[in-house]
Chain A
Amino acid sequence: MDARVVGTECEYALMHSGGRVINTSGLDSEALLAHMKSVTPLLVQSLQLRGYHHAGEFLGNGGRFYIDRGGHPEYATPECSSVRELVAHETAGDRIVQDLVEESRALLSRSGSVGRPHVYKNNTDGHGSTYGAHENYLVTPHGMDNIHALIPFLVTRQIYAGAGKVQLEGEAVANYQLSQRADFINRVFSDRTSQTRGIINVRKREIPKQGQSRRLHIIFGDSNLCHHSIALKIGATALVLTLLEEGRLKNPPVVSSAVEALRNVSSSINAPIALEGRRGTFTALDVQRMYLEQVDRYYGSGSGQDRDREMLRLWSFTLDGLERLRICQDEARLEDDPADLKGRIDWVLKLWLITRTLGQQGPGEKGRALKILDLQYHDLDPAAGLFRRCEELGLTDRLENEATIKRAMVEPPEGTRAAVRGTVIQMAAQRNVEVFCDNWERILITARSPNTTASSHPFNRVQRIGKSLDLRLDDPFMACESSLIDKVKEFVGLWD
């Protein structure tokens, strides 16, 4: 596959509390959900107020914003055809959601309500509830038939794609985990996304046609903020998928107990992993290198594009850096980071922040401080979130600059059907038509009301053309051709 369609979905945590008047600490799930439902409509209302073009849940940048199960605001990126596009659009989603939260604060304030909502890009509340960060990849039938060979890679990629999590045992002993989601995964494959979660979700929402590529849906992944973590998670996975599709992944490692291994690796980066048919034990880094070597050989022979090789270098650099990293997970401490991964990898950056702060806290305060830092790392408000503050201070390495991210908030990526969707939504904004996107594969444009000035002459084109235009986007790579846009433009113009 020359290009691959990729996309991510992120469920955010919405926090709205305000002292004695609004206190969510004692609420059960039902009451908590009811409370969230009193706030989430403000986010939806804010879309309009902040001037985002949208058609229902779908946005003018081709992505989708909605309120998902559990009252979680969710942003799904538009279909992207490169890792850099994906990084820009996932980060754009974070910016959009924070923008909506800020507008909601203003609405609440104007109505005299107390409390300021905050939104967090993380995956666990520390009380046993989790919410997801899902990935989607377009994969050929051959790749899907051999997808089990990807499992050891997915189990171990948390060493650069984990967002970090503090788990306190006792008064002041912290076990620092690499992954937020590892504790909540209990199957390799599952058709469910709650209670029982698989590394790969096999829910069949669409029936694949013979010979057509299908959607690979991975639900064991953390919500990342660092550009490099996002890029590596998606980019390295895509590179391995290419080898699978091309039949070039030879003798891939087989993990004896994948779910146990992913939890062990999260708790200890050097946890031994038993591989079937191989003597001795291996670490997550060893397993990653087994994949990297084969990918390197494939791309070293001239296959692929420059952007694939850029991702390969990033992956290789990161594994080298992780090899030299020194940490103490039992005490949540970063001891040595010679490759400066703290500016690139979420769990390392969080651990560095914790290490800086730990020494300044008294023993009684240590546990509480750790947990607060853990949560506040993910707050998307630059005035309160640790990651956002590090970013603003220039303490993180970015792959995409602010101008590109701002553009991705309103413009769709090129090269996939998202460009058609986004362009149509933008063209129809404030015109006399309504756009309905039932799903990612269809756009229906309908006239709001008959054009009163239209002639009833039988040759009148308005009469002949009908009141709706149905666009099918079955092909994810469907181009935004000028003939298609002209057709939409003409239809929209007729009803003004």
Chain B
Amino acid sequence: MAETRFIEKPIKKKKVKTEEKDSSIEGSLSMTEEKRQKLKELDEFIDDVLEKAGDDFLEEFRQVEGE
């Protein structure tokens, strides 16, 4: 099993503001450069996905009832 431990357990639980989310959830202080790069790639990928979804995407995603 490939263990993926890219996020460190936060030392202290605290109520976070939205703009602080990265530091609290990712435990960024102890992140390796490789992990940081992967997360950067992920963020760029998500930006790209959001940008590529056309204006009608949500309306066009329609399915016929299945089981």
Chain A residues in contact with chain B, CB under 8 A? 11, 13-15, 17, 19, 23-25, 27, 29, 32-33, 36, 68-72, 125-127, 129-132, 134, 193-194, 219, 326, 333-338, 340, 342-343, 352-353, 355-360, 368-369, 371-373, 375-376, 384, 386, 389-390, 393-399, 401
Distance in angstroms between the alpha carbons of A376 and B7 in the assembled complex: 23
The listed residue with most B CB atoms (<10 A of its CB), out of A29, A33, A132, A394, is A394
* A/B interface sample: 14 pairs, CB < 8 A: A24-B62, A25-B62, A33-B64, A69-B67, A70-B66, A127-B63, A129-B62, A194-B66, A333-B21, A340-B5, A369-B50, A386-B45, A394-B38, A397-B2
Does the CB pair A129–B18 fall under 8 Å?
no
Q: Which residues of B contact A397 (CB under 8 A)?
A: 1-4
> Are B56's CB and A36's CB within 8 A?
no
**Contacting residues, chain B, for A358 (C-beta < 8 A):** 18, 21
B56 to chain A, nearest CB (A): 5
Tell me whether A70 and B62 are in contact in the complex, defined as CB-CB below 8 angstroms, given that A369-B50, A396-B4 are known contacts: no
Cα distance A130–B56 in the bound complex, in angstroms: 20
Contacts of A72 in B (CB 8 A): 63-64, 66
Among A13, A125, A372, the residue within 8 A (CB) of B49 is A372
* Shortest Cβ distance from B42 into A: residue: A393
Give the nearest-CB partner of B59 in chain A.
A25
Q: How far is the CA of A358 from the CA of B19 in the complex (A)?
A: 9
B contact residues vs A (CB 8 Å cutoff): 1-7, 9-10, 13, 15-16, 18-19, 21-22, 24-25, 38, 41-43, 45-47, 49-50, 52-54, 56-67
Per the bound structure, the CA–CA distance linking A4 and B41 in Å amounts to 42
Separation of A373 and B47 alpha carbons in the complex (Å): 10
- Please give me the 7 A-B residue pairs with the lowest Cβ-Cβ distance, nearest first: A131-B66, A70-B64, A25-B59, A193-B67, A125-B63, A70-B66, A17-B60
- Known A338-B10, A356-B21, A384-B49; contact A401-B2, beta-carbon cutoff 8 A: yes
Distance, CA A92 to CA B54, complexed state (A): 30
Instruction: Point out the residue from B6, B13, B24, B46 that lies within 8 Å of A395, measured CB to CB.
Output: B6
Task: Give every chain A residue within 8 A of B61 (Cβ-Cβ).
Answer: 13, 15, 24, 125-127, 375
Could you tell me if A372 and B53 are in contact, using CB atoms closer than 8 angstroms? yes
Q: How far is the CA of A387 from the CA of B67 in the complex (A)?
A: 24
Please name the residue on chain A nearest to B34 by beta carbon: A394
Q: If A70-B65, A395-B4 touch, does A376 touch B60 (CB 8 Å cutoff)?
A: no
Q: What CA separation (Å) do A37 and B33 show in the bound complex?
A: 48
**Inter-chain contacts of A13 with B (CB < 8 A):** 61, 63
